[in-house]
Each structure stands twice: as C-alpha cells, then as structure tokens.
Amino acid sequence: MKALLKFFFGLFVVSGLVLSYFYLPAWISTRRKASRLRQWFTDPAAHPELAIAAGARCGDAPFLLPTDGYIGFGYGDSFRPGHSHQGLDIFGPTDLDATPVVAAFDGYLTRESTWKSAVIIRHPRDPLDPSRQVWTYYTHMADPNGESFILPDFPAGTRELFVPAGTLLGYQGNYSGDPNSPVGIHLHFSIVQSNGSGGYKNELEIANTLDPIPYLGLADVDGVWCCP
C-alpha cells in the first residue's frame, strides 16, 4: 500500500515537472506579453521603446515596416489550444482611423469586392526566394460596423493595381466581422503563399503563410520585436 502511494506521488511529481518544463516558458512569455500590451495601451507615448514606425526599414531588410505601433502578437503565437497566429498584430498608438498602414513592398494590389477592411498585394518575386511569388495581407482597416478606413484610391473590387513600397493604404481599425465584438485597434499583417495558379492561399491557415520577421529585419530584444 505504502509503495503504491509512493509510486503515485512520484508519478504526480514527475508529471508536474514535465508539464511545467513544456508549458511554463510559454505561460511566462504570454503573461509578459499581456503585461507589456497593458503598459502600451495605458500610455503608448510613454513607451516608444515598444514601437515600430510605418515606412521605416530595419537595416537592409527587403520590406518596409507596414505601420506604427507595438507588435503585441507574433507569428506562431497561440491564443487558444490548437491555434497558431499566422501573422503579426501591430497595435497602433492612436484611436480608430489615425495610424497609417503602408505597402511593405512594391506590388499589385487587390481588394476583393466583399472586403471591407483588407487588401492583399501580389509580389511577383519573393525577395528572399525570387523563384516564387508571395502576397502581403493587411487587415482590420475598418470600424466595428465595417465602415472602411482603406483609402478611396482602393475601392472594393480593385484588382492588380501597382503600388510602390511605402504607399499609404489606409488606417488601423478594429473590425472583426461582428459589430458586437470588435478586436483591439491594430493591423494584422501577414505574408501569404501563392496557390500556384495565380491566386493566393487561404491566409487563415498558418501553413499557407510565411514568417514576416526575416522580411522585415526585426529582432527579438528581450521579448520585444524591434529594429536591431
């Protein structure tokens, strides 16, 4: 009986250690991110060290930074079990319709006829792998009711319009598709793979996307993405 108790106690301790080995770092990093995001939201002007700047280039990175703000959630971050974030969430320092969003790289802009808050830009040559074509995707540029903050130069239904890197596309918003539960004001920026027949893959699946960090030249300095 005593041996059995000992065995179960041992099992309990070992599984506790194993679980904390795997989950503790992720838990701590999520907590740190949440606390930084709170600091940022409380007073963005007091935390310039957390922010990136729209249109800036980190070193000799091929892409320009697409907006101003704090990169609160990165590529591969998990918000719920089984989910991996397929882009960067960049939280601007201002209210709705004020933080600029710019094209990261020369390309051809499409805004599907049903898109209220998003545009996608085709780049015929991936600068990190010129043998393939990639797309950059920018979303949440509308208010909770879907009132768009995308510039009138890019109305819904726009196809293959050339935009040089740095072109102002619109402003950050909080549109989620559900007027009753908007997201926090931010830009979701992602790099989407081509589908092989001229279009793009479904950007909601991380497997169809690429990590934007090397394209933007960002570095993780003590848990904050910034220009090194």
Name the site residues for Zn ion (rule: CB under 5 A): 89, 188
Phi, psi for 85 (deg, rounded to 5): -70, 130
Q: Which of 128, 168, 130, 131 is CA-nearest to residue 149?
A: 168
With beta carbons less than 8 A apart as the criterion, state whether 203 and 109 touch. Answer: no
**What phi, psi does 167 have (nearest 5°)?**
-60, 130
Which residue, 89 or 203, has its beta carbon nearer to Zn ion?
89
Q: For the CB of residue 67, give the shortest distance to Zn ion in the complex, in Å.
A: 12
Partners of 224 in the β-ladder: 221
Tell the smallest beta-carbon distance from residue 205 to Zn ion (Å): 13
Which residue has the CB atom at the shortest distance from Zn ion? 188
Least gap, CB of 176 to Zn ion (angstroms): 11
Cβ distance to Zn ion smaller for residue 116 or 188: 188
Tell me the CB-side half-sphere exposure of residue 69, using CA atoms within 13 A.
29
Give whichever of 68 and 89 is closer to Zn ion, judged by the CB atom: 89
Residue with token string 């043998």: 131
Element (H, E) at 52: strand 51-52
Give whichever of 37 and 161 is closer to Zn ion, judged by the CB atom. 37
